Structure 1
Amino acid sequence: MQIPQIRMESQAGRIGLNINKPIQSIEQPQADLSIEQPPAEMTINRQPSRLTIDQTLARENLDLKSVFKRVEENAQLGYQTLMNYISKTVQEGDELMMIENGGTPIANNGVRALEHESVFNTGNTPSQESVKVEYKPAKVDIEWKRNRPNIQVQINRPIHEYTPGPVDVYMQQYPSLKIDFTL
């Protein structure tokens, strides 16, 4: 006995793809940078130096005195001379008052009157200590004010262009199914 048979043949379908590559470009523009540096500010405060030379004592040693100093010295010399004269006159008066004690007081007074000291001063060489020198050095204060730089940055976004690649889909092989009956 023969049994009928069914034969089936199938063929799977296949899809074909044509893929074109996509196009992509990325460009990064440089950032815009602005830098400004303000100059520093400098302030200088200066006190000048001071040199003081006092040569008054040296000039006095050379007998180059000021009018005020001469008046003061002459007043003092006049007073001292007066006091010496009074003392001498009193002493001579005392001697004359005691003439009875003997001696020659009148002749002695005459001789003393002829004895006169004359003083002549040509001046002296001034000593090194007679000139007073005083020096005050200069004082300088410098102040700086530094100014910070002004920096401004503008960031530019990247330029991105993308073109997707087209994909073509097609049937490379169609599916099929064959059925046969055999006895």
Structure 2
Amino acid sequence: MQFPQIRMQSQMALIGINTTQGQQTIEQPKAQLSIQQPKADVQIDRRPPKLDIDQSQAWSDMGLYGPIEAAERNAQEGKQAWLQSLAKESQEGDQLMKIENGGNAIASIGKNNAYEPMKEFNVGWIPSHFAVKTSYEPGEINIRVQRNEPIINAQTQSPIINYQRGDIEIYLRQQNELQIDVEI
């Protein structure tokens, strides 16, 4: 005897998934920055040095005088020469006045006036030691500097963030099925 047979055939349901990726972009704008550096304040106080050179003694030692001193010296020397000449002429007059005493006064006076006296020669333009006097007063410099801080202005920028959501789609790709057959 034959028994009826049941045949079952099944098919599983299948699902499908479609995904769309999410997208994210981030941009960071640069910060706005401004920097200013004010100049430093500088003050300089200065007293210049002073150098005094007095060479009047050296010029005087070399026979070079200023106009006032030269006039005074020439006047003094002229007066002295006039007095010496006056004394000499007075002495010669006295000798001539006493000519009767003998002694040949005219020949003696002529002999004295015939020859000029020997002149002395010496180097006269060398000044004496320490004839040039100097004095020096050093100068002074005072520098004051006041530095100024930089002025910095920074403005930050927030990041720009764009986000696009992803998506998931779930669907039935294959329908489930059950088939039952009876065979005799």
1:125 shift after superposition: 7.0
After the TM superposition, which of the residue ranges 21-30 and 159-168 deviates more from structure 2? 21-30
User: Which residue number corresponds to residue 44 of structure 1?
Assistant: 44
Unaligned runs of 5+ in 1: 64-123
CA deviation profile, 1:34-59 (whole Å, cap 9, x unmatched): 21111112121212111223457558
C-alpha RMSD of matched pairs (Å): 3.3
Aligned counterparts of 1:53 and 1:41: Cα–Cα separation in 2: 38
Aligned counterparts of 1:128 and 1:52: Cα–Cα separation in 2: 18
Aligned counterparts of 2:22 and 2:39: Cα–Cα separation in 1: 54
1:20 shift after superposition: 3.3
User: Which residue number corresponds to residue 138 of structure 1?
Assistant: 139
User: Which residue number corresponds to residue 147 of structure 1?
Assistant: 148
Aligned residue identity for 1:151: I
Q: When the two structures are superposed, what TM-score results if normalisation uses the length of structure 1?
A: 0.53
Aligned counterparts of 2:126 and 2:20: Cα–Cα separation in 1: 117
CA deviation profile, 1:55-95 (whole Å, cap 9, x unmatched): 575587689xxxxxxxxxxxxxxxxxxxxxxxxxxxxxxxx
Aligned counterparts of 1:145 and 1:9: Cα–Cα separation in 2: 99
Unaligned runs of 5+ in 2: 64-124
Q: Which runs of 4+ in 1 moved over 6 A?
A: none
Aligned counterparts of 2:3 and 2:149: Cα–Cα separation in 1: 104
1:179 shift after superposition: 3.0
CA deviation profile, 1:126-176 (whole Å, cap 9, x unmatched): 425122111233222334333332223222121011111333322111112
Aligned residue identity for 2:37: Q
Aligned counterparts of 2:53 and 2:42: Cα–Cα separation in 1: 35
Aligned residues: 125
The equivalences for 1:1-183 within 5 A come to 1-55=1-55, 57=57, 126-127=127-128, 129-183=130-184
Q: When the two structures are superposed, what TM-score results if normalisation uses the length of structure 2?
A: 0.53
Aligned residue identity for 2:174: Q
User: 3-state SS of the aligned residue for 2:130?
Assistant: helix
CA deviation profile, 1:82-130 (whole Å, cap 9, x unmatched): xxxxxxxxxxxxxxxxxxxxxxxxxxxxxxxxxxxxxxxxxx9742512
User: 3-state SS of the aligned residue for 1:130?
Assistant: coil
Aligned residue identity for 1:19: T
Aligned residue identity for 2:163: Y
